[in-house]
Amino acid sequence: MARARIQSPFGLGFRAMAPLWLGVIPFGLAYAVTAREVGLSVLETQALSALVFAGSAQVSAAGLFGAGAGGLEIVLTTLLLNVRHVLYGVSLARRTPLTRRQRPVAAYFLTDEAFGVVTAANDRRFAFLLGAELSLFVTWNLATFGGALLGAAIPDPEQIGVDLIFPLAFLALLVPLVRTRADLSVAAASGALAYLLSRELPGGLPILVTGMVGSLLGAWLTRRQPPDTSFHADDAAREVA
Amino acid sequence: MTFWLVVVGMLAVTFGSRYGGLALRAELPAFWVRFLHFVPIAVFAALVTPALEGPRHEWGIRLAAAGLAALAAWRTKQLWVAIAVGMVAFWLLRLPL
């Protein structure tokens, strides 16, 4: 019976996300400590994790609350940091067929990590997507709760170096996707562009801009290819995670 | 009270972004189909490079660890193996000798 549960698409998705827990927990803790330090209550700290569920936006919001920023400023910053999810949604919707009822559920829990893991896995079922999404949601919220209670006794993730897990994970998800010269050109150009942009722009914005520019570059580089082949060949090859 | 109003605003713009893309269901021209093929490649690359540098002038060993993790990802196609290889390499390389 345990075996049957593990083999369910939900369980598979849930487990596919597990390698990222180690990277998420210290950040959930760090976010909660920051939020408590600027004066948010335990309930408010937890509410941001449960209702907004977007790490970089939550940390920024905590900082802005602490600095006494206006509500509009905080909401606009959140939009700026999170609008990249539009790209993920469009990409994901072509891969995983969703009914009208499943769509808002899938949307509520969508993250960088879920998009990454589901794109890399060759599994198009809604339950797999939901398993991966909830795997991160539960971990993030438990870490938030722990951090909100424990407070400043927690070590800084950058001190112990676990902030490296996030780029390592996305590098590991990227590598198997790079199969043609155009893929490689897009990956290299995007990496360089995002690095340069990240020195000037806040968190999520370089990802959005790079996602647009890099994908346009790829579509332009492959303009002489027959329309269908590239997409199918590579869907069959997705097998990580 | 203001706090909860701000949370509602944050929830609205975040959920709106997440739902907007998923709900867009249109037959796309070939150019945009190819565009979407490159979205994960461009986005994953963009999630790697800014976060790779790190805070404490450790970019040399972080880059080395990332190189080994990429190699492990290429060989094994296992997410957790790549992360483990990268982190162990990083922790070993940063030991004060």
- In tens, the pLDDT along B58-69 reads 889 999 999 999
Separation CA A218–CA B49 (nearest Å): 19
Same domain, A138 and A224: no
Q: Does A192 touch chain B (CB under 8 A)?
A: yes
**Domain span at A117:** 2-162
**Which of A162, A188, A209 is a domain's end point?**
A162
A158: chain B residues, CB-CB within 8 Å = 54-56
Same domain, A130 and A206: no
**Which of A131, A162, A193 is a domain's end point?**
A162
Q: What is the pLDDT of residue A241?
A: 36
Same domain, A70 and A152: yes
8 A C-beta contact, residue A116 and residue A170? yes
A164·B54 Cβ contact <8 A: yes
Interface predicted TM-score (ipTM): 0.89
The pLDDT of B35-57, averaged and rounded, is: 87
A171·B51 Cβ contact <8 A: no
Separation CA B90–CA A141 (nearest Å): 28
Give domain status of residue A173, yes or no: no
Instruction: State both tokens at A103.
Output: 């769509």
**Which of A132, A162, A192 is a domain's end point?**
A162
Q: What is the pLDDT of residue A231?
A: 45
* Chosen from A171, A201, A205 to mutate, greatest number of chain B CBs within 10 A: A171
Give domain status of residue A20, yes or no: yes
Per-residue pLDDT of chain A in tens (241 residues, 90 and over written 9): 455 556 899 999 999 999 999 888 888 888 898 888 888 999 999 999 999 999 888 988 888 888 888 888 889 888 988 988 999 999 999 888 899 999 999 999 999 999 999 998 988 899 999 999 999 999 999 999 999 988 766 667 777 777 888 899 889 989 999 999 999 999 999 999 999 999 888 767 888 899 899 999 999 999 988 655 444 434 434 433 3
Distance between A150 CA and the closest CA of chain B, angstroms: 23
Q: What is the pLDDT of residue A45?
A: 95
With CA atoms as reference, the chain B residue closest to A39 would be B3
Q: What is the mean pLDDT of chain B?
A: 89
B83·A87 Cβ contact <8 A: no
Same domain, A37 and A103: yes
The total number of structural domains that make up chain A: 2
A85·B72 Cβ contact <8 A: no
Q: What is the pLDDT of residue B8?
A: 97
8 A C-beta contact, residue A174 and residue B38? no
Same domain, A78 and A134: yes
Same domain, A78 and A7: yes
Separation CA A124–CA A105 (nearest Å): 16
Distance between A2 CA and the closest CA of chain B, angstroms: 22
In which residue are the tokens 């290889």 written?
Answer: B85
